[in-house]
Amino acid sequence: MITAPVVDKVGGKNRPTPKRSAQVARNQRPLVPDDRRAAHKANRDAMRAERLKARQAMMTGDERFLPPRDKGPVKRFVRDFVDARWNAGEFFLVVAMVVVLLTFVMDPTAQLIATAMLWLTVILSVADGFVLSRRLKRRLNEKFGEENVPAGTVRYGILRAFQIRRTRLPKPMVKRGEYPV
């Protein structure tokens, strides 16, 4: 009787099928690690490194590590468009602080002037926000098309316009007057 030589095929099985109990035992992992303190510390360190990477991305504008709220070419365009212009909303917080300080003065004329300044700033900021929303919406639709602009994108731009330029995150990447193309 002649037997055929055993040939090891590449990708072939060449071993018996493992028992189900062996498969299940191999795939079992404990729900709680053996050293919970070390696992907690490793998890905390990993989260800290991830937050640090995201913070660095906010400072440099690195798209890979930005949070989903700030990712994408549409949001980048909105940030650059808002950062390129002077916004009345930037000055709202400063004027509000001055008004709060002037309200401590017991002079009724100073308080009246402070209140008028505050209302003027509010009206200018709302008007500027309206103008910004119209221009931004038109430019976004021209560049990306109406169907490719996510909902809330214009609101994202208006909220950014109300922040003081130095405190904006991600940091402004354009100078004033450098509008995106």
**28 backbone dihedrals φ, ψ, rounded to 5°:** -75, 135
* pLDDT, tens digit, 9 for 90 and up, residues 44-54: 999 999 999 98
Instruction: Find out whether 179 and 83 touch, Cβ atoms under 8 Å.
Output: no
**Predicted local distance difference test score (pLDDT) of residue 4:** 63
Helix 108-144 with 73-83: angle, nearest 10 deg: 140
Q: What does the mean pLDDT of the chain come to? A: 91
pLDDT of res. 44: 97
DSSP category for residue 17 = P
Instruction: Grade residue 11 by pLDDT with cuts at 50, 70 and 90.
Output: low
* 63-117 per-position pLDDT tens digit: 888 888 999 999 999 999 999 999 999 999 999 998 998 888 889 998 899 999 9
The rounded percent of the chain whose pLDDT value lies above 70 is 93
113 in the same domain as 44:
no
> Are residues 99 and 158 located together in one domain of the fold?
yes
Residues 117 and 159 in one domain: yes
Domain that holds residue 66: 39-71
CB 88 within 8 A of CB 121: yes
pLDDT of 86:
96
Would you say residue 123 lies in a domain? Answer: yes
- 130-136: long-range contacts at Cβ-Cβ below 8 A with a sequence spacing of 24 or more? 132/82, 132/85, 132/87, 132/157, 132/158, 132/161, 133/157, 133/158, 136/78, 136/81, 136/82
| Residue 65: both structure tokens together | 């590590």
Residue 66 included in any domain: yes
Q: What total of structural domains would you count in the chain?
A: 2
- Both 127 and 151 in one domain: the answer is yes
What number is the average pLDDT over the span 38-60? 93
Q: Are 135 and 77 in contact (CB under 8 A)?
A: no
List all residues 6 or more positions away from 105 whose beta carbon is below 8 Å from its beta carbon: 111
